[in-house]
Homo-oligomer: A and B are copies of this chain.
Amino acid sequence: MSTHRSLQFSLDRSSPVPLYYQLSQQLEAAIEQGGLAPGSLLGNEIDLAARLGLSRPTVRQAIQSLVDKGLLVRRRGVGTQVLHSQVRRPLELSSLYDDLEAAGQQPATRVLLHTTEPASARVAAALGVPEGAEVVLVERLRLAHGEPMAHLRNHLPVGLLDLDGDGLAATGLYRLIRAAGITLHSARQTVGARAATAAESGLLAEPEGAPLLTMERTTYDDTGRAVEFGSHVYRASRYSFDFQLLVRP
């Protein structure tokens, strides 16, 4: 017995958008908007394929992408079930700027420093360049609603992209990197905490010794080349990291 025979999907075979993607988008929309109730079964793949005039592998590909997103669960012998919804915020490699903007926090950036310097041992190791080689250094203060939120310190290999001060002030670093045609692939992150130094307390308007959240991140492009190494400090009173993660099956 299958469910949801009544759901309508419209597939456009003349569209350049793949059929499995059209279907997964419409399934996702149906889940988000409640057309497919949490806990309900999706109906078996063979019927669904027949009803849509698609082959089973194509339907499976659509379903699989939603399983990977954590929206559906498949059980052999049982069926495909809509997961009882939780907040869906996958862990993404987003920039603080975009996060703040999406939250309506009116982000702004003050560029404190934009120069080159010889790579320290740690920066050199992260970026995969020789120690002492010239690397770009950018230091920024990130504000939200005019209040300081974080102190951002980034090192980049020289020649990777042309950073201009206006771009840095107007948007996030990741957007500039992507705009330069670089495909980001992965990042290594370390999140910790420590007490604010005197200098940081002045920059971030926190008392000296106040707890700060720290993040170090090395970002790689799809050739495995290190693109950026960041050492960031956030006001713990104003910011926390918030994300969802899925268990690898």
User: Which residue numbers of A lie inside 8 Å of B, CB to CB?
Assistant: 38-39, 57, 68, 70, 73, 81, 83-87, 89-93, 184-195, 209-214, 218, 220, 222-225, 236, 239-248
- Please report the C-alpha to C-alpha distance between residue A86 and residue B128 in the assembled complex, in whole angstroms: 11
Closest B residue by C-beta to A210: B195
Q: Please give, as numbers and ranges, the residues of chain B lying within 8 Å of A236 by CB-CB distance.
A: 192-194, 211
Can you list 24 A-B pairs, Cβ within 8 angstroms, ordered by A? Answer: A38-B224, A68-B68, A73-B222, A73-B223, A81-B223, A86-B220, A87-B188, A89-B188, A92-B248, A185-B246, A188-B244, A189-B242, A189-B243, A189-B244, A189-B245, A190-B240, A191-B191, A192-B213, A192-B241, A193-B193, A193-B212, A193-B236, A209-B209, A214-B240
A92-B248, A93-B245, A246-B186 known; A192 vs B223 contact (CB < 8 Å) = no
Q: Choose one: B93, B188, B247; the contact of A93 (CB below 8 Å).
A: B247
Counting chain B CB atoms within 10 Å of each CB, the highest count among A81, A211, A212 belongs to: A211
Q: Please give, as numbers and ranges, the residues of chain B lying within 8 Å of A193 by CB-CB distance.
A: 193, 211-213, 236, 240
- Please report the C-alpha to C-alpha distance between residue A81 and residue B225 in the assembled complex, in whole angstroms: 13
Q: Choose one: B39, B210, B222, B239; the contact of A224 (CB below 8 Å).
A: B39
- Please report the C-alpha to C-alpha distance between residue A84 and residue B221 in the assembled complex, in whole angstroms: 10
- Whole-angstrom distance from the CB of A184 to the nearest CB of chain B? 5
Q: Are B84 and A225 in contact (CB under 8 A)?
A: yes
Q: Are A245 and B194 in contact (CB under 8 A)?
A: no
Q: Are A195 and B222 in contact (CB under 8 A)?
A: no
Q: Are A247 and B189 in contact (CB under 8 A)?
A: no
- Whole-angstrom distance from the CB of A230 to the nearest CB of chain B? 14
- Please report the C-alpha to C-alpha distance between residue A245 and residue B240 in the assembled complex, in whole angstroms: 18
Q: Are B91 and A91 in contact (CB under 8 A)?
A: yes
Closest B residue by C-beta to A87: B188
Q: Please give, as numbers and ranges, the residues of chain B lying within 8 Å of A192 by CB-CB distance.
A: 213, 236, 239-241
A90-B248, A184-B247, A222-B73 known; A190 vs B39 contact (CB < 8 Å) = no
A211-B195, A241-B190 known; A185 vs B70 contact (CB < 8 Å) = yes
